[in-house]
Amino acid sequence: MPNGFNQLPQYRQLYETLKKGIHEGLYAPGDLLPSENELSRTYGLTRPTIRQGLGELVNEGYIRKIRGKGSVVKRRKAGIGILNIKGTTDSLPTGKLRTLVVDAPVLKPWPAALKEELSATDLTHKCVYLSRLRLIELQPIFYEETLLPNRDLPGFLTQNLNDRSLFGLLAEDYGIRVTGGAQRIRAIGAKGKIQELLQVTNGTPILRLDKSYETNRPYYHFYTSIWCRTDAYYLEGAL
């Protein structure tokens, strides 16, 4: 029987299931996850497959494995989880994050600073630009500008990106999944547009992240710059 949209590999499904269990408190910090052998029996998968799923949880900082003991759930992350690859929202106080579009998607030429990083294929297409402001408890926390090549993105310019995950949109509507990337971080002083949007005084220390994402679509990269105030919330990530 054709199973249609069962695209997610089994170890990934396990990962999602366990992550959900952790988020919902089924497994509390300090608790042990079921052992690998037990998970193996429960889900009808072999241990290497189970281990692949648990490995993702380790990478994302959800659990720690201790030989002879088990997989221990780590204490809840308190900061903003944009250091790791997953979408931003993964580890935030639930429902408290608002996302407001500042500049709706438009076509632009590529900025000169990025041109040397771009692949030849991406350079032949124009660039989709959009920017959004993210608020926690109605307080602006960070502002993000995204640039992506306008290649096979039908209807993207008319998408509504308020309170919507960009990663989710790319995955669901265009089959683009992020597979890797790199980031650079600097501390700068707030000024101009950034200072206004984040509602801080001129010169306030601000975190700036420049990220480049690799995707499952060959030679398709995209780029995000983030400006983040860290007086109330800090950035947190696994090592």
Partner DNA sequence: CAGTGGTCTAGACCACAGT
Partner DNA sequence: CTGTGGTCTAGACCACTGA
Per the listing, tokens 């790319």 go with 170
234 binding partner (options a second copy, DNA, none; Cβ < 5 to 8 Å by kind): a second copy
Q: Give the contacts of 91 (CB within 8 A, at least 6 positions apart).
A: 76, 77, 79, 80, 81, 236
The listed partner (DNA, a second copy, none) that binds 186, CB under 5 to 8 Å by sort, is a second copy
Is residue 84 near a second copy by the rule CB under 8 A? yes
Judged by CB, which is closer to DNA: 9, or 205? Answer: 9
Q: How far apart are CA 222 and CA 213, in angstroms?
A: 5
Q: Does 189 bind a second copy (CB under 8 A)?
A: yes
- Neighbouring CB atoms inside 10 A of 211's CB total 20
Task: Report the partner that residue 189 touches, choosing among a second copy, DNA, none (CB closer than 5 to 8 A by kind).
Answer: a second copy
Q: Name the packing angle between helices 10-23 and 36-43 (round to 10°).
A: 110
C-alpha torsion sign, points 184, 89, 7, 159: negative
**CB-wise, 42 or 179, nearer to a second copy?**
179
Least distance from DNA to the Cβ atom of residue 118, Å: 17
Instruction: Find the binder of a second copy among 4, 24, 187, 192 (CB under 8 A).
Output: 187
- The answer to whether 178 and 85 are in contact (CB under 8 A) is yes
The first and second tokens of residue 223, run together, are: 């780029």
- Residues 5-64 touching DNA, rule: CB under 7 A, are 9-12, 33, 35-38, 44-49, 51-52
Provide the β-strand partners of residue 107.
128
Taking the complex as a whole, how short is the minimal distance between the CB of residue 90 and DNA, in angstroms? Answer: 19
Q: Does 186 bind a second copy (CB under 8 A)?
A: yes
Q: If binding is defined by CB under 7 A, does position 71 make contact with DNA?
A: yes
Which amino acid type is present at position 62? Answer: Y
Helix (H) or strand (E) holding 105: strand 97-108
Binding site for DNA (CB under 7 A): 9-12, 33, 35-38, 44-49, 51-52, 65-71, 218
Binding site for a second copy (CB under 8 A): 48, 58-59, 61, 64, 66, 74, 77, 79, 83-85, 178-189, 203, 205-207, 211, 213-214, 218, 228-231, 234-239
